[in-house]
Amino acid sequence: MINNKVISIILGGGQGSRLYPLTENRSKPAVPIAGKYRLVDIPISNCINSDIKRMYVLTQFNSASLNKHIKNTYHFSFFSSAFVDVLAAEQTIKSDKWFQGTADAVRQSMHHVLRHEFDYVLILSGDQLYQMDFNEMIEAHEASGAEISIATQPVNAKDATAFGILKTDNKSIIESFIEKPDASILPEWTSPVSDEMKKEGRHYLASMGIYIFNRDLLVKLMEEPDTVDFGKEIIPNAIEKHKTLSYQFEGYWTDIGNIDSFFEANLGLTDEIPKFNLYDNAKRIYTNARILPTSKISGTLLDRTVISEGCLIHAAKIERSVIGIRSRIGEESTVINCYMMGNDHYESLEEVEEKKIKIFMGIGERCFIKNVILDKNCRIGDDVRINGGSHLKDLETDNYLIKDGIVVVKKDAVIPPKTIIQ
């Protein structure tokens, strides 16, 4: 079944500099998450679960791996109108510039979107972690007679200063908007919220960057060439002229904006009852269906650890970590508070036995790895010690980066045996 009223546009984001070095060779939506997925799988899966199966993903930086992932993953029936297409910035008669912002990205892509019949455009971010039934938001949008709907998350005073805050009336119609308000004026920006949110002190409505626009209005707004961003220009201006609904969402939602939030979102999956539930039958997260063997674990103490398919693990101990596909961890090694993205392929048995490779992919023997993100295809030699934490100063080398105490080992990096980072 396809919801033919709606077409979805997923914004791939800009250069993704705050997620560097994870975005050094890939676009932000293509960053691996949870050991086996990509960030873009989250909004696409939410759309599929909501029967919205016509999607464009807009991107312009390092889009090759994103293209490959989407091409290999999302196949619909030959007789269906469903699709997931990547639209990279392109030169046209009307524009020869790269995307200048979120609204400009949609504007430059409208000639593709308008080839289809639809009533509403659902605009999503490609770098957020959440599970939402968009049908409920669409139904609320239709029932209210709004021209625009914005998904909002109730937040507390501490968090409110980091978001765009919306003020609503008793019918959830948005009256005003302010970007990252100062704490001193927050009391003026409370909105009606549920009793449960009130108990938690979450009196302020933060924009989640998820929008529904009526087709005709979006076409009209895209004819204004001077507006380049939804959050900073389109939405604040439209609230004054067009009926705009706040759709309150009280479930788990986090913006993967920087290395710290990315790290915590992944490690949060190891909680006994994770806030982001990968085990919900009704809200599945889809990804590339790789044909991989089961993981093999020998003599390892595991505690709060998520292990993906195809891993070969001989570690002494793994604690509160996410281990990605095809990961290899050697004997007597300890891994604590780590996200290991895994490997794109296996090294052959011949290469391993004949030791043609000096340092194998994965983590070697007798290593101690703590508070680390290991990007794809890393080679950590034997007896390496990496002890991340707040005691470390920010630093970048050819092979790794330290940011806010988190050590990020770059993709394809080689860390020689007996290296110490602590």
Three-state secondary structure call for residue 116: coil
Cα-Cα-Cα-Cα dihedral sign, residues 8, 14, 19, 25: positive
Q: What is the pLDDT of residue 91?
A: 46
pLDDT value for 205: 96
pLDDT of the residue at 232: 76
Residue-level pLDDT at 93: 46
Residue-range domains of the chain with CATH? 6-270 (3.90.550.10), 290-421 (2.160.10.10)
Dmax over CA atoms of the chain, in Å, equals 72
> What pLDDT shows up at residue 238?
86
Q: Are 54 and 112 in contact, with CB atoms under 8 Å apart?
A: no
Other beta carbons within 10 Å of 243: 16
Instruction: Indicate the SS3 state at residue 305.
Output: strand
Q: Per DSSP, what are the bridge partners of residue 407?
A: 372, 402
The CB density around residue 298, as the number of other CB atoms within 10 Å, is 9
pLDDT tens for the chain, 422 residues long, are: 667 899 999 987 666 688 999 999 888 889 999 999 999 999 999 999 999 999 999 886 677 888 889 888 998 888 788 999 888 765 444 555 655 667 777 878 888 888 989 999 999 988 899 999 999 999 999 999 999 999 999 999 999 999 999 999 999 999 999 988 999 999 999 999 999 999 999 999 999 999 999 999 999 988 877 777 787 788 888 888 999 999 999 999 998 889 999 999 999 999 999 999 999 888 999 999 899 999 999 999 999 999 999 999 999 999 999 999 999 999 999 999 999 999 999 998 777 777 677 899 999 999 999 999 999 999 999 999 999 999 999 999 999 999 999 999 999 999 999 999 99
Asked whether the beta carbons of 42 and 284 are under 8 A apart, the reply is no
Q: How far is Cα 241 from Cα 305, in angstroms, rounded to an integer?
A: 51
